């Protein structure tokens, strides 16, 4: 059959042609494929102009410019860069004497990975997130592989997020006392494995409580009602109770007062009447005493209920030059606050003495009235006795 006959012949011709063309054609093809060459910073780098030896003289370009840094040496078409720094990175191309591109390579410089510093967050009983930072700046893209195990257990994968440099474990065995995490960082120049051992029950640290709200209580100038909700990453279940720590202080004071509560809301009974208060709350696993307190929630500002809601203009007339220094010396312990406290004390003392005075006066009045009555009675008795005596027997 002619078809069968012709095709092997054709194939042979094609094979022969491709074989004969191979040295030049294949050379150029493979050389034109631009790759990336990774090298160590501060090392001496050799860039070959293609895979096979090239006898013809070649010209090298860096970043499409023929101006090469002074420390570059050419020998046998190979470019040698001494003690490279970052400015040696970029695109290197070699051309033959007719200006034909022979080879092109991208040089990337960096360092192999070093040990990592690892830290783990345990926001609830079913989740662990471990994150890490490089102790060595590698300047190169890296991949991470992480696994995790309890004492004497099998290694289990920790699911890695390469860009954010962390990994997640769901449902770890919290009752295992010691856990080991190993993270392997790999880049083009090498790899390094870091081991970290920790106790999960000690790392357990809830997120801060959420939706903090502080409200005045009408009719109570010294009370504040504080409410919040569980951190959203904490399971709402009776098996996982949280202890809450509320702290508060009059705005400007450096001393916090505190209350502990197992549930929201909680009431502050000793707020300073008429003062803006700062309030915040944090949480702790109620069962596991070795675990950690959450961070504090953001501050909430609130003033207890007052009879006169509009500011008293007289008061502002009294203390304007005491208020002014306070606003300029932002946070320092402010005298204004104590002076206002003294003013309150004076008012209190005056009120107290008025009360005492009225009590004493009314007592005197009562005693006087009773005395008068008694006098009246004795007079009556006397007169009746006189009458009796004067009666004829």
Could you list the residues that contact ligand NAG (CB under 6 A)? Answer: 34, 62-64, 69, 71, 85-87, 89-91, 93, 101, 104, 106, 123-124, 126-127, 145, 147, 155, 233, 235
106/278 with CB nearer ligand NAG: 106
For the bound state, the minimum distance from the C-beta of residue 104 to ligand NAG, rounded and expressed in Å, comes to 4
Do residues 112 and 141 lie in contact, with contact meaning Cβ atoms separated by under 8 Å? no
Q: How far is the CB of 95 from ligand NAG (least distance, A)?
A: 9
Q: Which is nearer to ligand NAG, 188 or 225 (CB)?
A: 188
- Beta carbon nearer to ligand NAG, 294 or 334: 294
The size of the chain, in residues, is 393
Output 62 or 277, the one with its CB closest to ligand NAG.
62
Residue 82: count of CB within 10 angstroms of its CB = 14
Which phi and psi angles does 136 have, rounded to 5°?
-120, 130
Q: Which lies closer to ligand NAG via its Cβ, residue 147 or residue 176?
A: 147
Smallest distance from ligand NAG to CB 273, Å: 41
Residue 25 beta carbon to ligand NAG: minimum distance, rounded to whole angstroms = 18
CA distances from 78 to 51, 90, 104 (A): 11, 17, 12
Shortest Cβ distance from residue 302 to ligand NAG (Å)?
A: 29
DSSP 147-173: EEEETT---EEEEEETTTTEEEEES--
Alpha-carbon distances, residue 199 vs 151, 243, 349 (angstroms): 11, 21, 58
76 φ/ψ sector (left φ>0, alpha ψ -120 to 50, else beta): left
Nearer to ligand NAG, 64 or 389 (CB): 64
Q: Which residue of the chain is nearest ligand NAG when measured via CB?
A: 90
Three-class SS state of 191: strand
Closest separation in Å from C-beta 63 to ligand NAG: 4
């Amino acid at each position: 059959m002619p078809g069968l006959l012709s095709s092997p012949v054709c194939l042979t011709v094609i094979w022969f042609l491709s074989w004969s063309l191979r040295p030049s054609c294949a050379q150029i093809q493979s050389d034109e494929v631009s790759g990336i060459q990774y090298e160590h910073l501060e090392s001496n780098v050799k860039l070959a102009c293609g895979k096979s030896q090239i006898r013809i003289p070649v010209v090298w370009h860096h970043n499409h410019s023929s101006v090469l840094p002074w420390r570059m040496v050419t020998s046998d078409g190979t470019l040698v860069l001494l003690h490279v720094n970052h400015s040696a990175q970029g695109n290197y191309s070699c051309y033959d004497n007719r200006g034909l591109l022979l080879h092109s390579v991208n040089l990337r410089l960096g360092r192999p990975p070093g040990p990592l510093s690892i830290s783990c967050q345990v926001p609830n009983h079913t989740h662990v997130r471990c994150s890490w930072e490089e102790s060595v700046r590698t300047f190169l893209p890296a991949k991470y592989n992480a696994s995790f195990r309890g004492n004497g257990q099998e290694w289990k994968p920790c699911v890695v997020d390469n860009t954010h440099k962390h990994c997640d474990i769901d449902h770890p065995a919290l009752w295992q006392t010691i856990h080991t995490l190993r993270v392997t960082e790999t880049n083009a120049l090498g790899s390094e494995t870091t081991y970290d051992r920790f106790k999960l029950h000690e790392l357990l640290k809830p997120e801060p409580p959420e939706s903090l709200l502080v409200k005045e209580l009408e009719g109570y100038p010294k009370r504040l009602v504080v409410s919040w909700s569980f951190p959203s990453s904490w399971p709402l279940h009776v098996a996982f109770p949280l202890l809450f720590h509320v702290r508060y202080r009059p705005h400007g004071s450096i001393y916090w007062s505190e209350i502990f509560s197992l549930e929201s809301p909680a009431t502050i009974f000793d707020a300073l009447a008429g003062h803006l208060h700062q309030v915040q709350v944090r949480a702790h696993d109620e069962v596991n005493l070795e675990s950690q307190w959450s961070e504090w929630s953001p501050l909430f500002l609130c003033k207890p209920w007052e009879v006169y809601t509009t500011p008293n203009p007289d008061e502002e007339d009294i203390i304007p030059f005491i208020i002014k220094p306070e606003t300029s010396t932002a946070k320092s312990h402010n005298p204004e606050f104590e002076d206002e406290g003294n003013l309150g004390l004076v008012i209190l003392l005056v009120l107290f003495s008025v009360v005492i005075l009225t009590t004493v006066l009314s007592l005197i009045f009562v005693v006087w009235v009773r005395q008068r009555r008694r006098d009246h009675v004795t007079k009556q008795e006397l007169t009746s006795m006189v009458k009796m005596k004067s009666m004829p027997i």
